[in-house]
Amino acid sequence: MFSCVPRSLKCCTNIGPKRALPYVLTNSPVFLDPTIPQCRTYHEVTGNIICPNMVRGIDHLRDPRLNKGLAFTLEERQALGIHGLLAAKFKSQEEQLDICRISIDRYEDNLNKYLYLVELQDRNEKLFFRLLSENVEKYLPIVYTPTVGLACQRFGLIYRRPRGLFITINDKGHIFNILKNWPEPDVRAIVFTDGERILGLGDLGAYGMGIPVGKLSLYTALAGIKPHQCLPITLDVGTDNQDLLEDPLYIGLRQRRTRGKEYDEFIDEFMEACVQRYGQNTLLQFEDFALINAGRLLQKYRHKYCTFNDDIQGTASVAVAGLMAAVRVTKRKLSENIYLFLGAGSASNGIANLTVAAMMSEGLTERQARERVYMFDVDGLLSTRREGGVPEHAKAFGKDIEPEKDFEACVAKIKPSCLIGCSTVGGAFTPNVLQQMAKNIERPVIFALSNPTSKAECTAQAAYDYTEASTGSNSAYSSRSDPLTILHPFLIGKGWERKVDLTVEKTHRKAKYLIPERPLLHRLKGRCIFASGSPFPPVQYNGKEYHTGQGNNSYIFPGIALGVIATATHHIPETMFLTAARTLANYVSEADLSIGRIYPSLAEVKDVSLSIAIEVAKMAYDEGLASVYPEPKDISKHVENQMYNYNYESSMPVVWGWKPEEKFNVRPIQPVPKNI
Site for Mg ion in 269-288 (CB under 5 A): 288
Catalytic residue among 126, 215, 455, 663: 215
Residue nearest to ligand CC(=O)C(=O)O (CB): 451
311 is in an annotated binding site: yes
Q: How far apart are CA 320 and CA 228, in angstroms?
A: 32
Interface residue with ligand NDP among 348, 383, 436, 467 (CB under 6 A) is 348
Whether residue 215 lies in the annotated active site:
yes
552 interacts with ligand NDP by CB under 6 A:
yes
Q: What is the DSSP secondary structure assignment for residue 476, as one 8-state letter?
A: T
Q: Lay out the site mask for ligand CC(=O)C(=O)O across 261-300 (x = CB under 6 A, - = otherwise).
A: ---------------------------x------------
451 interacts with ligand CC(=O)C(=O)O by CB under 6 A:
yes
Residues 6 or more apart whose Cβ sits within 8 Å of residue 265: 172
Q: Checking phi first, is residue 211 left (phi over 0); if not, alpha (psi -120 to 50) or beta?
A: alpha
345 interacts with ligand NDP by CB under 6 A:
yes
Interface residue with ligand NDP among 120, 142, 344, 625 (CB under 6 A) is 344
Return contacts of 656-664, CB within 8 angstroms, 24+ apart. Answer: 656/17, 656/49, 657/49, 658/10, 658/48, 658/49, 660/22, 663/17, 663/18, 663/20, 664/20, 664/21, 664/22
Q: Checking phi first, is residue 173 left (phi over 0); if not, alpha (psi -120 to 50) or beta?
A: left
Q: Which residue's CB is nearer to ligand NDP, number 404 or number 465?
A: 404
Interface residue with ligand NDP among 20, 244, 291, 414 (CB under 6 A) is 291
287 is in an annotated binding site: yes
Q: How far apart are CA 57 and CA 82, in angstroms?
A: 5
Q: How far apart are CA 315 and CA 457, in angstroms?
A: 16
Q: Where are the beta strands (DSSP E) in 362-411?
A: 373-377, 380-381
527 is in an annotated binding site: no
Q: What is the DSSP secondary structure assignment for residue 430, as one 8-state letter?
A: -
Smallest distance, Å, CB 485 to ligand NDP? 27
Q: How far apart are CA 465 and CA 455, in angstroms?
A: 19
For strands 445-448 and 506-507, give the pairing.
Answer: unpaired
Q: Lay out the site mask for ligand CC(=O)C(=O)O across 546-585 (x = CB under 6 A, - = otherwise).
A: ------xx--------------------------------
User: Are the CB atoms for 345 and 376 separated by under 8 Å?
Assistant: no
559 interacts with ligand NDP by CB under 6 A:
no
Site for ligand CC(=O)C(=O)O in 127-146 (CB under 6 A): 145
Q: How far apart are CA 428 and CA 448, in angstroms?
A: 9
Q: Lay out the site mask for Mg ion across 291-330 (x = CB under 5 A, - = otherwise).
A: --------------------x-------------------
Cα torsion 483, 484, 487, 488 to 10°: value is -100
Q: Which of the residues are catalytic?
A: 144, 215
Annotated binding site for a divalent metal cation: 287-288, 311
Annotated binding site: 197, 287-288, 311, 451, 552
Annotated binding site for (S)-malate: 197, 451, 552
Binding site for ligand NDP (CB under 6 A): 197, 199-200, 291, 311, 315, 318, 342-348, 376-378, 422-425, 449-451, 455, 533, 551-553
